């Protein structure tokens, strides 16, 4: 199903129709975090190692329970029950520092995570994960899914090349990792309904954007929201506000979806 719940923006709860509030508030709000790199580089996509450790510790201490994309999918489709405070921790691109720096911290706190990798870069481009590293992480609670074959901007491609990017990434990952690959993160988060329909046709059952928000049963499964965590969120106060205030606002229907 490619459909979405649209909720209008309002400045106060009193202005939101009660049925809209109920529709938004019902069901679990799933926090999906979006990281890229964890390391010492100074760029917007790189989270400092010590701060990433603090963020993961906060999630555990605050009672969040890490889940997989499949558990998220089952929960919002109503075939499974999600934990009270579910969180899906995701990384895009598949940088080698995900293995060197993020992976040990995730293990330290017993957290699951998902990495959307670009298999055309795997074992090819310096600075990206290898197949052996991906297999090791999958043996220890990390889920590997697709970020297209070569990270090309899908909206700029003809249909046959969109299909090739989506399908060949899926097939290469499945061949090398030995399991179905059914979840996708769009490169740069850009998508449209036509791209989503191609993704569905080649065998994906859900896809993630960088549209800021939490996932619930009203979400479009081919345009799932995430909360990007960039280096600008460089204090624990900023991290807390980014993830906690969002959930409070959405529970009252105050955020435009």
Question: Distances in Å between the alpha carbon of 245 and those of 2, 52, 210, 242?
Answer: 28, 19, 18, 6
The torsion of the CA quartet 42, 189, 174, 142, rounded to 10 degrees, works out to: 50
Where are the chain's structural domains? 13-251
Nearest 5°: the CA angle 26, 29, 30 is 150
pLDDT at 196: 97
CA–CA separation, 20 and 185 (whole Å)? 29
* Run of H or E residues at 76: helix 69-76
**Diameter of the chain measured on Cα atoms:** 56
pLDDT at 163: 98
pLDDT in tens, the chain (257 residues): 444 332 222 333 233 333 334 344 447 799 999 999 999 988 889 999 999 999 999 999 999 999 999 999 999 999 999 999 999 999 999 999 999 999 999 999 999 999 999 999 999 999 999 999 999 999 999 999 999 999 999 999 999 999 999 999 999 999 999 999 999 999 987 899 999 999 999 999 999 999 999 999 999 999 999 999 987 666 888 898 888 865 544 544 444 34
pTM, two decimals, is 0.86
CATH code 3.20.20.370 for 13-251: yes
- Record the tokens describing residue 200, joined without a space: 């569905």
For 49, how many CA atoms within 13 A lie in the half-sphere containing its CB? Answer: 12
* Pairing state between β 142-146 and 113-117: parallel
| Contact between 246 and 252 (Cβ < 8 Å) | no
- Record the tokens describing residue 149, joined without a space: 């074959």
CA–CA separation, 192 and 5 (whole Å)? 16
User: Which residues have C-beta within 8 Å of that of residue 107, sequence separation ≥ 6?
Assistant: 140, 141
CA–CA separation, 228 and 231 (whole Å)? 10
The helix/strand count (H/E) of the chain reads as 10, 10
């Amino acid at each position: 199903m490619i459909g979405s719940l649209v909720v209008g923006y309002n400045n106060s709860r009193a202005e939101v129709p009660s049925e809209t509030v109920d529709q938004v508030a019902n069901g679990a709000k799933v926090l999906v975090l979006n990281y890229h790199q964890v390391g010492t580089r100074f760029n917007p996509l790189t989270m400092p190692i010590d701060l990433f450790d603090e963020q993961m510790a906060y999630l555990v201490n605050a009672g969040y329970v890490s889940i997989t994309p499949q558990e998220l999918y089952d929960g919002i489709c109503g075939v499974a029950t999600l934990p009270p405070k579910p969180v899906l921790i995701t990384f895009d691109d598949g940088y080698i520092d995900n293995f060197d720096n993020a992976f040990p911290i995730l293990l330290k706190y017993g957290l699951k995570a998902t990495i959307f990798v670009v298999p055309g870069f795997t074992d090819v481009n310096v600075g990206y994960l290898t197949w052996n590293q991906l297999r090791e992480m999958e043996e220890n609670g990390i889920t590997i899914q697709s970020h297209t074959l070569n990270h090309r901007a899908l909206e700029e491609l003809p249909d046959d090349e969109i299909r090739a990017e989506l399908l060949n990434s899926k097939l290469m990952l499945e061949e090398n990792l030995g399991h179905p690959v059914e979840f996708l993160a769009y490169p740069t988060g850009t998508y449209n309904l036509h791209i989503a329909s191609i993704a569905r046709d080649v065998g994906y059952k859900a896809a993630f954007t960088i549209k800021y928000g939490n996932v619930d049963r009203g979400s479009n499964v081919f345009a799932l929201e995430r909360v990007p965590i960039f280096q600008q969120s460089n204090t624990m106060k900023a991290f807390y506000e980014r993830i906690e205030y969002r959930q409070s606002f959405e529970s009252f229907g105050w955020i435009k979806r």
